[in-house]
Amino acid sequence: MTSAARIALIKGDGIGIDVAEAAMEAARTACRHVGAPALELDEIQAGAGYFERTGQDIEPGGEERAGRADAIFLGAIGLPAIRHADGTEISPHLRLRDRYGLYAGIRPVRAYPNAPQRLADPRAAGLDLIILRESTEGLFYSAAAHGRAQVIGDDEVRETLRITRATTEKLHRFAFRLAEKRRQRGKRARLTCVDKANVFTSMAFFRKIFDEVAADHPQTQIGYNYVDAQALDLVRRPWEFDILVMENMFGDILSDLAGGLVGGMGMAACAEIGDTTGLFQPAHGSAPDIMGQDKANPLAAILSAALMLDYLAEKTGTATYARAALAIEDAVEAGFAANRLRPMEFGGDMGTWAVTQAVLAAMPVTAAQDTQ
């Protein structure tokens, strides 16, 4: 039998605590259903609340423990009243991205039956695309390590936008592998490079590397779009896109826009993957105004747990983790189709734990199989 995978669990702040617990319950239940190895949780204290109590944003040794785990799961971090002296948020997760090179930020965008759909066109009901965001460089480069911005008195601040060949090549190769994986699952897999290559030298460089990598993958259909045009097209014709690969800040903005098309941030799952580890989290914030009130939509966190299990299957070679991921995804699909998932976020009558229990109840039970 394969040993348990170790998960560094950072619940964080606000509703991060609630949704992280919901996600771990869903992940452990899915593993039991399919006979996958158990998940061993190593909880690490971090976030704005921890900073207020201790003056540190993560507990001593927490970053090292996170890196030694098979995967990292994060609830949400940040509280509006607790910030650094310069006004920026408490953000140890940005440092984890930087330290462990979590360059591939996967943001799935998928429509579900009976979930809100903001576009009237019936084709919006079939939305199923991925925004692939480089997560360590771009315009976030200055934010990853606190203090990289150049502050010139009280008159000017300069931030650095960084695009390197090493990271960008890895990102684009990851994008083409992701396209191949989608094809193997019977989905369309056209890959679009989103940039602003007509204005910025950095973006022309980003596209140049995309073209170099594309030459090694002639079987994958490719396209290009400037980021402003892509924002328009995500509202006008999002069903024509499959995988969009882009710089960090562009991905941050467009993934939220796309999330709004399929219900909102409560459905916005996220994976950030590097060469040695991956961090998984819902893309929404900590929403402290509803923390502890059983009102948060846990589905973004639960679907992020499915992404984590799929990652563990590849990392550990344990196929049953992939089946556990599929069990969660199928349960969410079935729950919405039967109108048994009605989160308060969408005007429904179900709180955090009612939604979680409905997902658990919809999971198919599969006989335990070989976990090697």
Q: What is the rounded average pLDDT of the residues 296-301?
A: 97
pLDDT at 364: 72
Residue 189's identity, in one-letter code, is: A
Q: Is the pLDDT of residue 121 over 50?
A: yes
Kind of pairing between the strands at 104-110 and 128-134:
antiparallel
Q: What is the pLDDT of residues 60-105, one digit of tens each?
A: 999 999 999 999 999 999 999 999 888 888 889 988 998 999 999 9
> Quick one: pLDDT at residue 305?
98
SS3 163: coil
Domain boundaries, the chain: 1-103+266-365, 117-261
Among 42, 256, 294, 330, the one annotated catalytic:
256
Question: Which residues on adjacent β-strands are paired with residue 182?
Answer: none
The Cα 59–Cα 61 span in angstroms is 6
- Residue-level pLDDT at 88: 82
Please identify which residue in the block is written with the tokens 């390590």: 145
pTM of the prediction?
A: 0.92
Pick the catalytic residue: 86, 211, 228, 370?
Answer: 228
Task: Report the 3 state secondary structure along 123-147.
Answer: HHHHCEEEEEEECCCECCHHHHCCC
pLDDT of 1 above 60: no
Long-range contacts of the stretch 356-360 (C-beta < 8 A, 24+)? 356/22, 356/25, 356/26, 356/298, 356/302, 359/26, 359/299, 359/302, 359/328, 359/331, 359/332, 359/335, 360/25, 360/26, 360/29, 360/331
Active site residue 42: no
Contacts of 299 (CB under 8 A, 6+ apart): 266, 267, 332, 341, 343, 355, 359
Between the CA of residue 99 and those of 43, 267, 278, 369, what are the distances in Å?
19, 27, 12, 37
Alpha carbon distance 259, 107 (integer Å): 9
Q: Note if 349 is an active site residue.
A: no
Q: What is the largest CA-CA distance in the chain?
A: 65
Calpha distance 303→309 (Å, rounded): 10
Q: Is the pLDDT of residue 167 over 90?
A: yes
Architecture category of domain 1-103+266-365 in CATH: 3-Layer(aba) Sandwich (3.40)
Average pLDDT, the chain: 93
CA distance 235 to 225: 14
Query: Of 141, 242, 310, 321, which is the active-site residue?
Result: 141
The string of pLDDT tens digits covering residues 334-369 is 999 999 999 999 999 999 999 999 999 998 765 344
- Residue 79 DSSP label: B
- Round to whole Å and give the CA distance between 335 and 8: 29
* Predicted confidence band of residue 145 (pLDDT cuts 50, 70, 90): low
Q: Please check whether the two domains, 1-103+266-365 and 117-261, share a CATH topology.
A: yes
Considering the chain, what percentage of its residues have pLDDT values greater than 70? 96
Q: How far apart are CA 81 and CA 101, in angstroms?
A: 30
Instruction: Map tokens 């060949």 to a residue.
Output: 165
Query: What DSSP state is assigned to residue 289?
Result: G
Given the candidates 3.40.718.10, 3.20.20.10, 3.40.50.10360, 1.10.1070.20, the CATH classification of the domain at 117-261 is 3.40.718.10
pLDDT of 168-215, one tens digit each?
Answer: 999 999 999 999 999 999 999 999 999 999 999 999 999 999 999 999
DSSP 8-state code for residue 269: E
Write down the catalytic residue from 252, 310, 311, 321: 252
Annotated catalytic residue, options 170, 196, 310, 321: 196
121 is catalytic: no
The pLDDT score that the predictor gives to residue 242 is 98
DSSP 92-134: HHHHHHHHTT--EEEEEEE--TTS-----SGGGGG-EEEEEEE
